[in-house]
Structure 1
């Protein structure tokens, strides 16, 4: 793994790294890359040693991979491993980083704001607290497609007034794609209202309704754990989910992580921030290509590049080095 300090690594000017969250996991993730790059397994061992159980085994077999307290550290470790491989391969430091939900922690590890050991313990606890906050079956999430952000906000407010519980916009992922979360019955009412407006709805296979007020109690417990962790300001600018901006002090950084549990992910605004700061290339540092697919239709994005297989990694490395003028 690269041991060079950031000051000695070449920098990009129009590239950002984005780190995916839950939903990007798949059985056997990074297995092909692990055969070529020993640091993949070294990173998983480092994280597993910190937690006391085998994250690579979970990633490869799928055992417990659908349980959020295990999904979260597995995905964070996978993203960290890919980041280390990127640096090993001569990849450039991006100008900005951003992570979707859980991915924000991966970005902070990559930006050296948080150690991998501390981060996997934090997100393991985060998953446990989230699961305990809402009993199995009492919460739900759904993706609403084909409606504006304002339409989704209004229909959630309307659905929350019928006595079936509360539902809120949880992830503003793209124009015409908003994820909602809340009490199961309220989510079902919101889905019906979305269809009345000619929208489409897809119920998500999750056990926890993330980024809504049902997670407020979990956030308060999480804040206590976060206060004990050695957190530094990132060495690469990290755009947070809550404000879609870069925190300039530690208090703001910690507040953003706590608020992220029960406030919506502002991914659309995050991408707008990147556009306004002359970013034209995105590298997705994690399992799969969820974030690349969200970004590839945006006019300002020349390329959105996943790196979770050997061929994808090599293509992304060559594309970015060429685009940034490091190779002809």
Structure 2
């Protein structure tokens, strides 16, 4: 089954995002630390302990969401042998996808999205606007309303997210008025947690300044094919990045087109990499029955993802190796009573059996290694044999440091 990775954009932020990854993965912690060093403030504090109003500020939300997305991507690639056919990101998520593809270094991407957020913030200060998600009305009906004289040039369609959801951007007063029109037509309207009228002409000055910055940056060949929000097609090459990313700020996000592109090519394993499950929830209403959708936001999401990737009927192979090694190791402790020995090792064996039959995400390797070492201590395993056992497990990719 072919896989695509999907990266969420602004609006997916919440206090606590990425905290389980940060706690359970050294690689994720290093990603947060790298971003914090570049930005000069603690990304983990903003994500875990900050105020939602502060985190929602565009200049903070964008670097934080990108950091959580790349941390999740790195952990995903560390834990699996995935070789995604396509990457796609929603708005800001397109930059996360380009970073995951190798087109941008993470440090450059953090600086870029900080600038992007600041430019959007400044545009908002000059011409205040916002965004509304409209459900239950077709994009054609919404477009017709936006073209009415009182709304022309004031409100535009900014996101074609799905057949059931279209987003509009515009000036605050105009949005308030057109919201009543949408409700009268049978629609349901939700204000978005964003700090401006993104993907609209109100971002024109910001888009021009972003293009100037992008034109000075160095990009690299992509390891994975990335879809553009502007065209709903793969980037022809990294040379298109400046024009596509700057154009994206003032044009519609064709997310529905990106999903349709994947569906037409029977990409049926879709993994949302980053905070929240906004993209997953939209996909569940649109996808074919054969399509698998996995968010990576919570511990249980990772557990399900790993379980679904494992061959049916198999145990958790990495931890099963620990259990096998513990069972096969010869007992050299012949001077202790059998009952005392069994009592001493029983707890560690139960821990290994539990891990082998479950999907442990946070610290599972450390727990398994501790239990195995305790059993080897109880068996008085000589140092050479002990070293061989642990080295063998390490060679199989289970233990990172022996």
TM-score (norm 2): 0.74
How far residue 189 of structure 1 moved from its aligned partner, in angstroms, is 2.5
In structure 2, the partner of 1:255 is: 243
Greater share of residues in helix: 2
1:51 aligns with 2:39: yes
Count of equivalent residues: 311
How far residue 136 of structure 1 moved from its aligned partner, in angstroms, is 7.6
Q: Cα deviations across residues 121-174 of structure 1 (Å, max 9, x unaligned)?
A: 10001011001112288212111111111111111111xx22785110011111
1:245 aligns with 2:233: yes
In structure 1, the partner of 2:80 is: 90
1:144-293 to 2 correspondence within 5 Å? Answer: 144-158=134-148, 161-162=149-150, 166-293=154-281
Q: 1:312 aligns with which of 301, 310, 314?
A: 301
In structure 2, the partner of 1:14 is: 2
What 5-or-longer segments of structure 2 have no aligned partner?
318-402
Structure 1 CA distance, aligned partners of 2:84 and 2:97? 11
In structure 1, the partner of 2:368 is: none
The answer to whether the Cα contact below 8 Å between 1:136 and 1:207 also exists between their aligned partners in 2 is no
The answer to whether the Cα contact below 8 Å between 1:164 and 1:186 also exists between their aligned partners in 2 is no
1:76 aligns with 2:66: yes
What SS does the aligned partner of 2:169 have? strand
Say which structure, 1 or 2, has more relative contact order (CA 8 Å, 6+ apart): 1
What SS does the aligned partner of 1:123 have? helix
Structure 1 CA distance, aligned partners of 2:247 and 2:152? 25
Q: In 2 relative to 1, CA 322–76 (structure 1 residues): closer, same or farther, beyond 3 Å?
A: farther
Structure 2 CA distance, aligned partners of 1:256 and 1:322? 40
Q: In 2 relative to 1, CA 248–227 (structure 1 residues): closer, same or farther, beyond 3 Å?
A: same
What SS does the aligned partner of 2:161 have? strand
The answer to whether the Cα contact below 8 Å between 1:171 and 1:180 also exists between their aligned partners in 2 is yes
1:78-157 to 2 correspondence within 5 Å? Answer: 78-135=68-125, 138-157=128-147
How far residue 118 of structure 1 moved from its aligned partner, in angstroms, is 0.3
Please provide the CA RMSD for this pair: 1.9
Structure 1 CA distance, aligned partners of 2:285 and 2:232? 20
How far residue 105 of structure 1 moved from its aligned partner, in angstroms, is 0.8
80-89 vs 302-311, which moves further: 302-311
What SS does the aligned partner of 1:135 have? helix
Q: In 2 relative to 1, CA 18–259 (structure 1 residues): closer, same or farther, beyond 3 Å?
A: same
In structure 2, the partner of 1:9 is: none
In structure 2, the partner of 1:7 is: none
What 5-or-longer segments of structure 1 have no aligned partner?
1-12
Q: In 2 relative to 1, CA 277–321 (structure 1 residues): closer, same or farther, beyond 3 Å?
A: farther
Q: In 2 relative to 1, CA 322–212 (structure 1 residues): closer, same or farther, beyond 3 Å?
A: farther
Structure 1 CA distance, aligned partners of 2:85 and 2:209? 33
The answer to whether the Cα contact below 8 Å between 2:11 and 2:192 also exists between their aligned partners in 1 is no
How far residue 314 of structure 1 moved from its aligned partner, in angstroms, is 2.5
How far residue 54 of structure 1 moved from its aligned partner, in angstroms, is 1.3
What SS does the aligned partner of 2:147 have? helix
